[in-house]
Amino acid sequence: MNNEVIIEDKISSGKTGKLSFGTKFSYGIGDLASNLSWGLVSTYLLFFYTDVFGISAAVAGVIILVARIWDCFVDPVVGLVVERTNTRFGRFRPYIIFGAVVLAVFNTLTFTTPLLSPTGKVIYACVTYFILGTVYSIVNVPYGALGTVMTRDTNERTSLNSFRGFFSLISNVITGAALMPLVMALGQGDNQKGFAYGALVISLITLPMFYMVFRNCKEVIQPPKESYPSIKESIKAVSANKPFLLIALHLFLLFTALFGRLGTVIYYYIYVMARPDLIAPLMAGFGLCTAIGSIIVGVIAKYFEKKTLAIVALVLSGLTCIGIYLVPVTSITTIVILSTVGFIPVGFGAPMLFSMVADSIDYVEWRDGSRADGAIYSVTSLITKISSAIIGGASAIILGWIGYVPNAPQSAETVHYLNLVVNLVPGIIYILAAVPMLFYGITKVKAQKYAKEIEERRANA
């Protein structure tokens, strides 16, 4: 009996101990790989469909929206399956390493433009995008859930997710600064070839990154087989988890604002500012400054509550967007500063969010005795896709409503509404996203209490 306690104590010290720099780096670079794939979709897919593949904005919007409705079924199923998986590699890592190859293939196919009839193009876009979203879930849900079982220490979770946030935002620098020049260089004036080859290069780059996650990130928290939750318990872990529901609402609003602006800002640069030459530097500047924000929050998080940092970041980000909307379009220097340095607080978002998700998983385990990390994280992945889809579909429809005509000069009224859609609306949504955080109740002290009591229960058992 004493030997069993000693063994459990050793395991517990691992669970609550510090993570090495190499472990954090490897986990973070997985998000770089994930977001290089999805960054192509969230930033360029609508533009690719309308201006490169030749699908109407309305039809493109429907494709994006319906694909995300499909994800409403896929993501929860993936979450339920992975948290019940039991292999010598753990519950989550096998999906990451094997799914990465398929993800690379369909990421490339989604941005490939075969010679098809108008109807054929729509069918091709539907099939490739639906499969891409499904495979992305198979990789990304386990990846996100992996971060919740690498440590129980709430500060280490924030630090781990600051690496994740940093590399996630670095992907914005790469897609913003490198992709369009890569498309132009590889396509030599043919954007269809350019996007296909660019997607292929980006996809190949992601494979060794996912391998680093598989090799270096271990599932330290391994619940006993008998404690795996039933499907009913998994559903309850989500639906009766007030802290997580607040996070989910916050996440939906945050990503609606973020993806809404990223998915349409290219129209602002081309048709409102009339400065397509600024696309690459401003997109890169945005990604670099938000990455700086993720570094800053990793340093200061130990001094503040997570929800406090999240609220401050959202309000500042919202005011930045509103400021860009109000600034005359001729004030290039001011717009450049706001579009880059002004978005440093956006980098606070991911580390705070995913650290809080891990704390909410511990909360359910502390309260009910079962750990539903796969089910809970699948909802965060689903919300990411739904917000991206809703704003992508809505943006496509709105472009049609305001009279947008691809590859042509826009009317003064259309230019005005483009500015409103790209800047003012996301700014308001950023500020609204702060409201759920006002009611979030898991403090650092409570999070550490949950972790300690869970470990004590296991030791006693």
Return all residues near 193 (Cβ < 8 A) that are at least 6 apart.
186, 187
State what percent of residues in the chain have pLDDT above 70: 93
pLDDT (0 to 100) of residue 8: 33
Q: Return the higher-pLDDT residue of 73 and 129.
A: 129
**pTM for the model:** 0.68
Would you call 90 helix, strand, or coil by DSSP? strand
Query: Which string of DSSP letters, residue by residue, matches 59-87?
Result: HHHHHHHHHHHHHHHHHHHHHHHHTT--B
Highest-confidence range of 157-166, 228-237, 443-452, by mean pLDDT? 443-452
Secondary element (H or E) of residue 44? helix 21-47
What would the mean pLDDT of 327-345 be, rounded to a whole number?
91
The first and second tokens of residue 440, run together, are: 């979030």
Backbone angles phi, psi at 90, to 5 degrees: 105, -170
Confidence class of residue 5 from pLDDT cuts 50, 70 and 90? Answer: very low
Bridge partners, 90 (sequence order): 87
Average pLDDT over all residues of the chain: 84
From the number of C-beta atoms within 10 Å of its C-beta (0-12, 13-18, 19+), residue 22 rates as exposed
pLDDT (0 to 100) of residue 226: 55
Question: Which bin fits 328, alpha (ψ -120 to 50), beta or left (φ > 0)?
Answer: beta
The residue whose two tokens read 């500060």 is 155
The first and second tokens of residue 105, run together, are: 């293939």
What would the mean pLDDT of 144-165 be, rounded to a whole number?
82
What would the mean pLDDT of 99-127 be, rounded to a whole number?
92
Structural domain boundaries in the chain: 20-216+230-460
Where are the strands (E) in 321-455, listed by range?
none
CB 394, CB 74: distance < 8 Å: no
The residue whose two tokens read 């790209």 is 422
Return all residues near 126 (Cβ < 8 A) that are at least 6 apart.
63, 66, 67
Cα–Cα dist 354/379, whole Å: 12
| Nearest alpha-carbon partner for 181 in 165, 205, 202 | 202
What would the mean pLDDT of 85-107 be, rounded to a whole number?
90
Query: Which string of DSSP letters, residue by residue, matches 234-302?
Result: HHHHHHT-HHHHHHHHHHHHHHHHHHHHHHHHHHIIIIIS--GGGHHHHHHHHHHHHHHHHHHHHHHGG
Asked whether residue 31 carries a pLDDT value surpassing 60, the answer given is yes
pLDDT (0 to 100) of residue 375: 79
Lowest mean pLDDT among 15-19, 251-255, 361-365: 15-19
Instruction: Provide the 10 A C-beta neighbour count for residue 38.
Output: 25
- The arrangement of secondary structure in 20-216+230-460, i.e. its CATH architecture, is Up-down Bundle (1.20)
Q: At CA 196, angle to CA 190 and CA 198, rounded to 5?
A: 95
Rg (CA), the chain: 22
Q: Which amino acid, residue 195?
A: F
**Half-sphere exposure of residue 229: CA atoms within 13 angstroms, side-chain side:** 25
Query: Tens digit of pLDDT for each residue in 228-285?
Result: 666 777 778 788 899 999 999 999 999 889 888 887 888 889 888 888 888 878 887 8
CB 26, CB 216: distance < 8 Å: yes
Q: At CA 415, angle to CA 410 and CA 416, rounded to 5?
A: 150
Cα–Cα dist 293/270, whole Å: 27
CB 76, CB 16: distance < 8 Å: no
Confidence class of residue 17 from pLDDT cuts 50, 70 and 90? Answer: low
Cα–Cα dist 432/313, whole Å: 12
The first and second tokens of residue 350, run together, are: 């991911």
Q: Return the higher-pLDDT residue of 17 and 50.
A: 50
User: CA separation (Å) from 272 to 58, 106, 265, 326, 421?
Assistant: 21, 33, 10, 13, 12
Cα–Cα dist 88/354, whole Å: 26
Cα–Cα dist 67/385, whole Å: 9
Cα–Cα dist 170/176, whole Å: 10
State what percent of residues in the chain have pLDDT above 90: 30
Cα–Cα dist 366/363, whole Å: 5
